[in-house]
Amino acid sequence: MLCVALYIIQAMLLCSVAVRDVKHPVRALAWLIIGIVLPFVGVGLYFVLYRRLPAQSRKQTGESPGKPDSTEVPPAISTPSGRNICRIVTHMTRAPAVPAECTVYSDGRAMYHALLRALRQARHSIDLEFYIFRADHIGMRVVDVLCEQARAGVRVRWIRDGVGSRSLPKAVVDRCEAAGIRCRVFYPVRFPWLSPRLNRRDHRKIVVVDGERAFVGGMNIGDEYTGQKDDVGRWRDTHLHIVGGGACRELSRVFERAWTLSSEERRRNNPSRHPRAVTDRLATEFSAEVAPPAHRPPPSSTHQGWVQTVDSGPDYPIPSVRNLFFAGLTQSESSVDIITPYFIPDTDLLTAMKVAVHKGVRVRLLVPEQPDHAAVGYVSRTFYPELLRAGIDVYLYQEGVLHAKVMIIDGETCVLGAANYDLRSFRTNYEVCQVVYSQALANYLERQFEADLQRSTPLNARWLANIPPWQRPVERVARLFAPLL
């Protein structure tokens, strides 16, 4: 009798998962399998990790209520796809495209050189928001500049993600707070640890200086992004430096929303860790690591363009970043080039890629040969045969780590930011992307894309035939759990 009762309860729980996640059937299927393999435990984990957050109103997300004042497209945006994408983004974000100066960095050394220079030149305010912030050579150089500026009277606010930056020593935070920096943690991991917040991370990388210049893209704060870390090797990334008050205001809006969701630091009542003692100790400990670099940073590219900001999160009214990628594919007329370290699209995006090819658009996808997460690699490879059969060109990057997130549409519209081409970025993480309309910038990124292809291997039928037999069932099983990665 007890077994029958437990069976009925388990069946009701599984049915509740299916009904509750009916809008995301693929994710529901993954959790149903977990619930069957781990009775009660699997369903319990689902309800803890995927408890619904209340949807944020447009006032809370910083968006203006109602329709935008105007969907007029700047005359400088000349391609039909660019004009259509601009209208779509304007309607989604309630913010029109604004002019800005944009500099693209694909090398971490050059980006950090420019970032440190901008931080030193700050006069009023510095806002930082990072998924990963490490207390290594680069991280401590940034901390030194922030502390100097805070002591000089500049308002400095710093958000770090509670999981991505969980290894950051408390002593570093104490030092920053002692200097006058306001520090917050986005959804910190605290008792009882398992909560809906654990699965919802702040994946953004944003710096806004004086409300006039900003840095946004794929690079966090850490030595690995310089490509000089022996156990990592060459790092291929993309980051954007924006100069212009209008574009920076939108990024400030994104930062302010994250600031309200973040938690204040919890200070320790430990006399041995007094902020003054921590400051003095760290100043000595890292004194050898704050000297300016001896190397000359590599060149970058600066162009004028029109910019829009698209951000999204699990409690937003619509999946804006996912809709942006969909708009780029469906509105394209001649070419779409995509660079992403993680490729796990949903059905609609996969269909949009194939339909774009059917109407004559050249679609090329550049992904790493070996993603830094093995499970992601297994899942991504299950999509490649389908893409190749549809006529999409797929390339595997061979030289080091590919971490860039770039989309170039019809030689004018560029999408750069922190969001990957995967379900986690679309539904679970807090993300941000910049849409830049500039033929000059697009041409620069296309040349960079062509150079990346020289370091890549194109996929073909021979590659598919050489997949080990044991790998195919592993990949199929991994794909079942794609919505959870």
Active-site annotation, residues: 203, 205, 210, 403, 405, 410
β partners of residue 160: 130, 185
Integer-rounded Cα Rg, in Å, for the chain is 23
Side chain identity at residue 281, one-letter code? R
Provide the token pair at 64: 């203006």
Q: Which residue blocks in 299-438 are alpha helix, DSSP H? A: 320-331, 347-358, 374-381, 384-390, 423
Nearest CA to 210 among 251, 172, 169?
251
Please identify which residue in the block is written with the tokens 């959870």. 484
User: Dihedral, CA atoms, 294, 300, 302, 306, nearest 10 degrees?
Assistant: -120
Whole-angstrom CA distances from 441 to 122, 270, 436, 464 are 27, 52, 8, 35
Whether the CB-CB separation of 349 and 390 falls below 8 Å is answered with no
Show Cβ contacts of residue 289 under 8 Å, excluding neighbours closer than 6 positions: 137, 140, 141
Q: What span, in angstroms and rounded, lies between the C-alpha atoms of 172 and 143?
A: 8
Instruction: Tell me how far apart the 2 most distant CA atoms of the chain are, in Å.
Output: 76
Say how many residues make up the chain.
485
Q: What span, in angstroms and rounded, lies between the C-alpha atoms of 128 and 144?
A: 14
Nearest CA to 87 among 70, 63, 101?
70
User: Dihedral, CA atoms, 352, 356, 359, 360, nearest 10 degrees?
Assistant: -170
Show Cβ contacts of residue 314 under 8 Å, excluding neighbours closer than 6 positions: 53, 200, 427, 428, 429, 430
Element (H, E) at 311: strand 301-312
Whole-angstrom CA distances from 133 to 34, 36, 158, 162 are 33, 38, 10, 10
Show Cβ contacts of residue 342 under 8 Å, excluding neighbours closer than 6 positions: 371, 373, 376, 380, 420, 421, 422, 424, 425, 485
Side chain identity at residue 69, one-letter code? D
Q: What span, in angstroms and rounded, lies between the C-alpha atoms of 404 and 409?
A: 16
- 3-state secondary structure (DSSP) of residue 138: helix
